[in-house]
Structure 1
Amino acid sequence: MHRNSQEISLFDHSTSSREREILEALGEVYSLIIVLDQVEKAYLKDCLSSEEYTSTVNKLLAQYKTYLADEEVAKEFGGLEQFRAKYQISASNAITRLERGMPVTVEHAIQTKNSSTALSSNGKNISGKAVAEATGNFITVMDALKLNYRTKEKLHPLMSELLLSINRAGSQDFEYRKKLVEWTVKINKMNISQSLEDSDARELLFDLEAAYKNFYTLLE
Structure 2
Amino acid sequence: MEEVPLFDRDISLKERGLIETLSEIYSIIITVDQVEKLYLKDVIENENAYTVLTNKLLAQYNTLLSNNENDSDFKEKFGNSITEFSEKYNIIAPNGVIRLEKGIPMTVEHMSNSQSDSGMAKNNINSKHVAEATGNFITVMDAIKLNYRAKDQLHPLLAELLLSINRIGGLHSNDMSNGEKGSDRTFGENKKKLVEWIVKINKMKMSEELDEKEAKELLFDLDIAYKSFFAMLN
TM-score, length-scaled by structure 2:
0.78
Specify which structure has the higher proportion of helix. Answer: 2
Partner residue of 1:132?
131
Which of 55, 61, 64 pairs up with 1:64? 61
1:201 deviates by 0.8
Per the alignment, residue 3 of structure 1 pairs with none
Does 2:29 correspond to 1:27? no
- Quote the residue 1:54 is aligned against: 51
Distance 1:136 1:22 in 2: 42
The answer for the alignment partner of 1:41 in structure 2 is 37
Q: Deviations over 1:66-98 (max 9, x none)?
A: 222213577513321232123211111111111
Matches within 5 A, 1:45-124: 45-49=41-45, 50-72=47-69, 76=74, 77-78=78-79, 79-110=81-112, 123-124=122-123
1:13-65 residue CA offsets vs partner (Å, 9 max, x unmatched): 5513x554443232211111100111111122221113332222122112211
Q: Which residue of 1 aligns with 2:176?
A: none
Aligned counterpart in structure 1 of residue 214 of structure 2, from 197, 200, 204: 200
Q: Is 2:66–2:205's contact at 8 Å kept on the other side of the alignment?
A: no
Shift of 1:139: 1.4
Quote how far apart the aligned CAs of 1:208 are. 0.6
Unaligned runs of 5+ in 1: 1-6
* Number of residue pairs the alignment of both structures matches: 209
Q: CA deviation at 1:154?
A: 1.6
* CA root-mean-square deviation: 2.7
2:175 maps to none
* Cα distance change of structure 1 residues 74 and 217 upon mapping to structure 2, 3 Å threshold: farther
> 2:7 and 2:31 mapped to 1: Cα distance?
22
Q: Distance in 1 between matches of 2:199 and 2:193?
A: 10
Listed as ranges, the gaps of 5+ residues in structure 2 are: 173-186
User: SS at 1:48's partner residue?
Assistant: coil
Aligned position for 2:178: none
Other-structure match for 2:184: none
- Alpha-carbon distance between aligned partners in 1 of 2:29 and 2:143, rounded to the nearest angstrom: 30
